[in-house]
């Protein structure tokens, strides 16, 4: 959950955790796929005051724990260096950088990310150390001839065999913007509101170079199913502020989407399709609205968030090759932090106790992982686990909302999902939905948390897979809806 918040943190941890308990060289250097495009990155607002050698200018790529990092550096006519930074998997692009040089030594600052890279430039590489969130990781950027681009063959290209409309609807004072996709043919059509996973998502649920909701909406439209997908509050063209909001607040946004569709005679039935946290939100909405006729839960949890996150932490660390001692150490104090955040204690007391727990854990930190319990890291952990969203998610039990559903429900989890474990959540979903005569719970072989055909299920694999959404899963979802509506 909250992939964007964890990408670089997980990458930094993976870079510091080896597959055994022996220290290894963790310097990262990896091949990349490139695509032709312009290499001009001139941006006067991102310039430095110290001229650098011509060799610094160019496109530089590195991979840190599966996360692609890119510098695009130009040299202006006055010999000043300007440039931009991209982390495509996090949707962070065109971030201004400040570059200083001293002979072959180069320092690149990314102010908005509070990150610094210090290295030495050669003809083909920038070798040095990446510093962020108290961590220092050896890293090698490799010179490229072209800007990095993802291969995403499933993304639809115009002209589309359906109608796409830009729409706006309101949740009280919050104006939300989205895209309504209407199939060809005679109305009415079943329509589904797409509810994104955790973190601030755009209407396509863009993540790690993929656009799952764009692909899903396209696939459903071609089968005669309409969809409404929207930018989360505070994202893209939607208003509102996500700070302090919880899953219950986001359920209100989804409920507003249902209300927006309810009087439209082009639609025969309204359903919900929620991914990850969206699979938690959908039952909340369905339990409150008589207009909701069906719900599809994609990698939605059946257990409280505290159980989901504890298992997720362990599974993701193992998948990234962390040593057994590192996993045991991190999971051990992590469980204590999770339990505190899920408690009813006030946030000041939770913050105080979390700080005590991590400071105590620092004494036993495995070699190379001291940065995870640095003062900076402790501050960030306290902030994350006292956030209202996190505390609500960890304490929330989805079972009661699932148990009262009488509408058709389809719940799917991939057996390679390391974020919402099928092993733990499938039985919980089956139990909660046991009284529903039209509830289907299925574990899908070979699929990860994004419902891609995967090998390991690791987060670092998401971006490396060309497929955005497994065709078999798309077909299963559309067939299930069309059999009923």
Write the pLDDT tens digit of every residue in 310-349. Answer: 999 999 989 888 899 999 999 999 999 999 999 999 999 9
Asked if pLDDT for residue 49 goes beyond 70, the answer is no
User: Measured in whole angstroms, how far is the alpha carbon of residue 273 from the centre of its chain?
Assistant: 17
Show the tokens assigned to 81. 């260096």
Average pLDDT over residues 406-432: 98
CB 226 within 8 A of CB 181: yes
pLDDT of residue 203: 98
CB 134 within 8 A of CB 377: yes
Asked if pLDDT for residue 30 goes beyond 50, the answer is no
pLDDT of residue 41: 43
Q: How confident is the model at residue 279 (pLDDT cuts 50, 70, 90)?
A: very high
Q: How confident is the model at residue 35 (pLDDT cuts 50, 70, 90)?
A: very low
pLDDT of residue 77: 83
Asked if pLDDT for residue 34 goes beyond 60, the answer is no
Asked if pLDDT for residue 474 goes beyond 80, the answer is yes
Looking at per-residue pLDDT, the higher value among 21 and 404 belongs to: 404
Looking at per-residue pLDDT, the higher value among 54 and 133 belongs to: 133
Domain spanning 162-303+397-482, CATH architecture:
3-Layer(aba) Sandwich (3.40)
Return the axis-axis angle of helices 305-319 and 324-341, rounded to nearest 10°. 160
pLDDT of residue 53: 54
Percent above pLDDT 90 for the chain: 75
pLDDT of residue 346: 97
Average pLDDT over residues 257-264: 97
Asked if pLDDT for residue 3 goes beyond 50, the answer is no
**CA end-to-end span of the chain:** 31
Q: Which of 180-185's residues contact partners 24+ apart within 8 Å by CB, and which partners?
A: 180/226, 180/227, 180/228, 181/217, 181/218, 181/220, 181/221, 181/226, 181/227, 181/228, 181/229, 182/221, 182/226, 182/266, 183/221, 183/222, 183/223, 183/224, 183/225, 183/226, 185/224
pLDDT tens per residue across span 57-100: 999 999 887 688 999 999 988 888 999 999 887 768 889 999 99
Question: Residue written as tokens 């949890």?
Answer: 301
Average pLDDT over residues 278-284: 98
Strands (DSSP E) contained in 221-331 are: 226-230, 267-275, 292-298
pLDDT tens per residue across span 357-377: 999 999 999 987 887 898 989
Strands (DSSP E) contained in 321-475 are: 409-414, 439-444
Establish whether the linkage from the previous residue to 188 is cis, with ω within 30° of 0. Answer: yes
Asked if pLDDT for residue 33 goes beyond 50, the answer is no
Q: Which of 309, 313, 299 is nearest to 14 (CA)?
A: 313
What phi, psi does 67 have (nearest 5°)?
-95, 125
What is the C-alpha to C-alpha distance for residues 57 and 40, in angstroms, rounded to an integer?
10
What is the C-alpha to C-alpha distance for residues 280 and 297, in angstroms, rounded to an integer?
8
* Lowest-confidence pick of 112-121, 177-186, 226-235, 393-402: 112-121
Question: Residue written as tokens 């959404």?
Answer: 469
pLDDT of residue 444: 98
Looking at per-residue pLDDT, the higher value among 27 and 405 belongs to: 405
pLDDT of residue 336: 97
Looking at per-residue pLDDT, the higher value among 320 and 296 belongs to: 296
Average pLDDT over residues 173-193: 98
The SS3 assignment for 60 reads strand
Give the pairing of strands 125-132 and 135-144: antiparallel
Asked if pLDDT for residue 26 goes beyond 60, the answer is no
Residues pairing with 272 in the sheet: 193, 295
Asked if pLDDT for residue 253 goes beyond 50, the answer is yes
DSSP secondary structure code for residue 79 in this structure? S
Per-domain residue ranges for the chain?
26-144, 162-303+397-482, 305-393
pLDDT of residue 136: 84
CB 384 within 8 A of CB 372: no
Q: How confident is the model at residue 55 (pLDDT cuts 50, 70, 90)?
A: confident
Asked if pLDDT for residue 240 goes beyond 70, the answer is yes
Distances (CA, A) of 335 to 7, 58, 277, 328, 398: 20, 44, 20, 11, 20
pLDDT of residue 322: 87
Average pLDDT over residues 213-225: 98
Distances (CA, A) of 314 to 197, 229, 359: 20, 32, 21
Mean pLDDT, the chain, whole residue set: 89
Strands (DSSP E) contained in 208-299 are: 226-230, 267-275, 292-298
Q: Which of 212, 169, 171, 181 is nearest to 299 (CA)?
A: 212
Looking at per-residue pLDDT, the higher value among 18 and 187 belongs to: 187
């Amino acid at each position: 959950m909250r992939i964007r918040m964890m990408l670089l943190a997980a990458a930094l941890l993976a870079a510091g955790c080896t597959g055994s308990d022996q220290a290894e060289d963790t310097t990262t250097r990896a091949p990349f796929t490139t695509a032709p495009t312009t290499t001009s990155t001139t941006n006067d607002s991102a310039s430095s005051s110290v001229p650098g050698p011509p060799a610094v200018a160019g496109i530089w790529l590195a991979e840190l724990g599966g996360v692609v990092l890119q510098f695009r550096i130009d040299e202006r006519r006055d010999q000043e260096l300007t440039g931009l930074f991209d982390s495509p998997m996090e949707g962070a692009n065109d971030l201004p950088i400040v570059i200083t040089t001293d002979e072959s030594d180069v320092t690149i600052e990314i102010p908005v990310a509070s990150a610094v890279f210090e290295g030495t430039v050669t003809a083909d590489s920038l070798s040095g150390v990446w510093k962020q969130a108290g961590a220092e990781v050896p890293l090698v950027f490799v010179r490229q001839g072209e800007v990095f681009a993802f291969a995403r063959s499933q993304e639809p290209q115009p002209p589309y065999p359906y109608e796409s409309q830009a729409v706006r609807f309101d949740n009280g004072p919050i104006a939300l913007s989205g895209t309504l996709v209407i199939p060809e043919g005679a109305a009415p059509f079943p329509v589904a509101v797409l509810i994104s996973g955790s973190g601030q998502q755009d209407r396509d649920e863009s993540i790690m170079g993929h656009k799952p909701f764009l692909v899903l909406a396209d696939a459903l439209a071609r089968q005669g199913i309409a969809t409404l997908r929207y930018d989360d509050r505070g994202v893209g063209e939607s208003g509102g502020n996500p700070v302090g909001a919880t899953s219950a607040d986001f359920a209100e946004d989804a409920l507003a989407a249902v209300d927006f569709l309810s009087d439209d005679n082009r639609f025969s039935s309204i359903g919900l399709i929620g991914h990850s946290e969206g699979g938690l939100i959908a039952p909340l909405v369905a339990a409150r609205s008589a207009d909701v006729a069906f719900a599809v839960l994609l990698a939605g949890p059946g257990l409280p968030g505290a159980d989901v996150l504890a298992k997720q932490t362990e599974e993701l660390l193992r998948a990234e090759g962390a040593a057994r001692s590192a996993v045991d150490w991190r999971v051990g104090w992590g469980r204590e932090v999770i339990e505190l955040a899920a408690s009813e204690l006030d946030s000041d007391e939770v913050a105080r106790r979390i700080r005590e727990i991590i400071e105590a854990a620092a004494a036993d930190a495995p070699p190379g992982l001291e940065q995870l319990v640095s003062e900076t890291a402790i501050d960030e952990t306290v902030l994350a686990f006292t956030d209202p969203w996190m505390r609500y998610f960890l304490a929330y039990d989805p079972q009661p909302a699932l148990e009262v559903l009488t509408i058709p429900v389809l719940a799917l989890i991939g057996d390679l999902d390391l974020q919402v474990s099928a092993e733990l959540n499938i039985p919980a979903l089956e139990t909660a939905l046991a009284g529903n005569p039209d509830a289907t719970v299925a574990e899908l072989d070979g699929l990860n948390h994004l419902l891609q055909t995967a090998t390991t299920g690791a987060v670092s694999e998401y971006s490396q897979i060309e497929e955005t959404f497994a065709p078999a899963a798309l077909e299963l979802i559309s067939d299930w809806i069309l059999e009923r509506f």
